[in-house]
Amino acid sequence: MSMSRDLIFLPEACHVPPGPQMTTKIIHFMVNGRVERAEFGADSTAEDIKELFRAAAEVSPHHILKLYKANGSVVNISPMLEPNSQDSYYRLEVVTSDVQSITMPSNVDNMEHRVSHLETKVLEEAGKTSEVISDLQSQVESFKRKLESIKHLSWMGIFRDENTKQISKSKGTQLNMEEEHRQVRRKFLNMSSLQVTEEVRDHLKTPIFDNWQWEEAEMLVLLQVMFTDLDFLTAFQIKKDVLQNFLFEVYCHYNNIPFHNFQHCFCVTQMMYGLIWLTDLKSKLCSMDLLIMLTSALCHDLDHPGYNNVYQINARTELALRYNDISPLENHHCAVAFGILAKEESNILKHLTTEQYKQFRAGMIKCILATDMARHNEILNKFKSILSIFDFRNKDHKEVLMKIMVKVSDISNEARPMAVAEPWLDCLLQEFFNQSDKEKLKGLPVAPFMDRDKVSKPSSQTSFIRFVLLPLFTELTRLFPCLEQHIVEPVRRALEYYSDLERATQQRETACKP
Ligand code: 5GP
Ligand code: MN
């Protein structure tokens, strides 16, 4: 590959001679020590551009690529990429490496076979006329458009069957979902044989990790890294394929809703993972306690329907009936988790002794049930009462700490950089508004903090940070002073940011009054 190679991707326009009507973008990026120039059509898809980058980096479709700006921030690989000059190039990095092909010589033969197979395919494709290819492309485009419109309809709730409860998905959605899940599984398994780079593994241990840059299959790989790097596979004799099945099942049991989705599950688990490393918890608690905490974070919102406990109780849903109005959602999340663990192929607890299983189950139930915010004060007050005499060898103390750590991780979005945290608030408000709209329609009570006519982003955050986040985070920081900079300081900055916004809004409103 030469230094000045041009990479061109003009999918729709490939049979049209370049002219003024065709808009293309030119970007420059550094990969493997070379600066490359790429040109792509305005109608290229994110997948097209990723493919182009993969070609430049000379890696397979399974490798994970990340694109960085000159200032080091990650940029989404999408058609929205801003054009740049040769002097202000992006940096393209491959964040997984194919260790198996280096350490296992037998794979070389396999790779040669794959290359020759690919070569044959390329020759076959090249023989086809451009008409056939463009026809195929338009078919694919039309199919994509149909898929998007179906996705849109399901997002708007058109496919929701009110009478067969919120928990189950209706048939139309189910079919799309199954195909999407199959694709994610395929991608996850293909990528999981790759080695995630040291840099990413380290980054994963910090609260500044940006979830928005990762696809679902990639997040599954990262979750696998967390379980592996905490030595759970050896400590509990968990086979890699069983862990993969378990993680995939967890992914499948999160719903496609604005906030309580798989991305939220990933963020909570990643924050828990970060807290474990930042506080050096490995030296203070046993592997079983850490397994309970990480798995609780992972499972804590399984099959969340997008409507909270108050709604469940007021609307007298199946969940509220089943659990007698006592933390219906949290009971359900935990029951779904043990349903997944009851299946042979996804049972990561297979090799635990009966005593260990009992300990794990009791711990998970306590940690997941502790995420019901109605119990927030009860749990925080208990933690406060033992702080001055806290002893890591005391079983009761440990138990409260584990609940607090899961709770902190659960509501930790504002501890992340503003660019990561703010979109989460939009997602949360969207879910709140969906609920309050439905409550208004059904004539049920509406909580003011969920009401689109009463709440704004700043008003929502200033009270939540003042009365919930800071009191909780500062108590945990008493036990682990090192957390001050990682979770308390960013939350104080967020409070300042939203207080300024709130003041500005109030001033504007006062000025407008006659
Ligand atoms: P979860 O439902 O995720 O298990 O429990 C956390 C609850 O805390 C959320 O449902 C939501 O009500 C609240 N919460 C979490 N993060 C935020 C936030 O950033 N702002 C506000 N206003 N509420 C939050
Ligand atoms: Mn949650």
Arithmetic mean of pLDDT, 211-216: 97
Q: What is the pLDDT of residues 80-90, one digit of tens each?
A: 888 998 888 99
Arithmetic mean of pLDDT, 457-473: 98
Residue 72's pLDDT is what? 76
Residue 51's pLDDT is what? 85
CA atoms of 380 and 386, how far apart (whole Å): 10
Residue of 265, 418, 464 to mutate, ligand 1, most atoms within 8 A of C-beta: 464
The mean pLDDT of the chain is 86
Arithmetic mean of pLDDT, 283-310: 98
Residue 353's pLDDT is what? 98
User: Which of the ligands is closest to the CA of residue 463?
Assistant: 1
pTM to 2 decimals?
0.81
> Which three-class secondary structure string do you get for 203-267?
HCCCCCCCHHHCCHHHHHHHHHHHHHHCCHHHHCCCCHHHHHHHHHHHHHCCCCCCCCCHHHHHH
Q: What atom of ligand 1 comes closest to residue 300's alpha carbon?
A: 4
Instruction: Report the separation in Å between the CA atom of 199 and the middle of ligand 2, taken as the mean of its atom positions.
Output: 28
Residue 38's pLDDT is what? 87
Arithmetic mean of pLDDT, 169-179: 72
Q: What is the pLDDT of residues 109-162, one digit of tens each?
A: 444 554 555 555 555 656 555 655 555 565 555 455 444 444 433 332 322 333
Instruction: Report the separation in Å between the CA atom of 333 and the middle of ligand 2, taken as the mean of its atom positions.
Output: 10
Residue 344's pLDDT is what? 98
Instruction: Report the separation in Å between the CA atom of 467 and the middle of ligand 1, taken as the mean of its atom positions.
Output: 13
Q: What atom of ligand 1 comes closest to residue 421's alpha carbon?
A: 19
Q: Which amino acid makes up residue 223? A: L
Does the pLDDT value for residue 103 go beyond 60?
no
CA atoms of 56 and 6, how far apart (whole Å): 10
Residue of 271, 373, 413 to mutate, ligand 1, most atoms within 8 A of C-beta: 373
Instruction: Report the separation in Å between the CA atom of 286 and the middle of ligand 1, taken as the mean of its atom positions.
Output: 29
Burial class of residue 293, CB neighbours in 10 A (0-12, 13-18, 19+): buried
Instruction: Report the separation in Å between the CA atom of 370 and the middle of ligand 2, taken as the mean of its atom positions.
Output: 11
Q: What atom of ligand 1 comes closest to residue 330's alpha carbon?
A: 4
**Nearest-CA residue for atom 8 of ligand 1:** 411
The residue that leads in pLDDT, 213 or 117, is 213
Arithmetic mean of pLDDT, 417-443: 98
Does the pLDDT value for residue 263 go beyond 80?
yes
User: Which of the ligands is closest to the CA of residue 458?
Assistant: 1
Does the pLDDT value for residue 94 go beyond 60?
yes
The residue that leads in pLDDT, 345 or 173, is 345
User: Which of the ligands is closest to the CA of residue 411?
Assistant: 1
Ligand 1: residues with CB < 6 A are 260, 301, 371, 373, 410-411, 413-414, 425, 428, 460-461, 464
Question: Of 24-28, 247-251, 362-366, which gets the smallest average pLDDT?
Answer: 24-28
Q: What atom of ligand 1 comes closest to residue 425's alpha carbon?
A: 19
Question: Of 71-85, 367-381, 436-450, 483-497, which gets the smallest average pLDDT?
Answer: 71-85
Residue 169's pLDDT is what? 45
**Nearest-CA residue for atom 9 of ligand 1:** 411
The residue that leads in pLDDT, 172 or 356, is 356
Does the pLDDT value for residue 393 go beyond 90?
yes
**Beta strands at 24-31 and 90-94: parallel, antiparallel or unpaired:** parallel
Residue 140's pLDDT is what? 54
Does the pLDDT value for residue 5 go beyond 80?
no
Domains of the chain and CATH, by start: 7-155 (3.10.20.90), 180-503 (1.10.1300.10)
Q: Would you say the C-alpha torsion 419, 422, 427, 430 has a positive or negative sign?
A: negative
pLDDT-based confidence at residue 422 (cuts at 50, 70, 90): very high
Does the pLDDT value for residue 438 go beyond 60?
yes
Burial class of residue 336, CB neighbours in 10 A (0-12, 13-18, 19+): buried
Does the pLDDT value for residue 389 go beyond 80?
yes
**Nearest-CA residue for atom 10 of ligand 1:** 308
Does the pLDDT value for residue 37 go beyond 80?
yes
Q: Which residues are catalytic?
A: 260
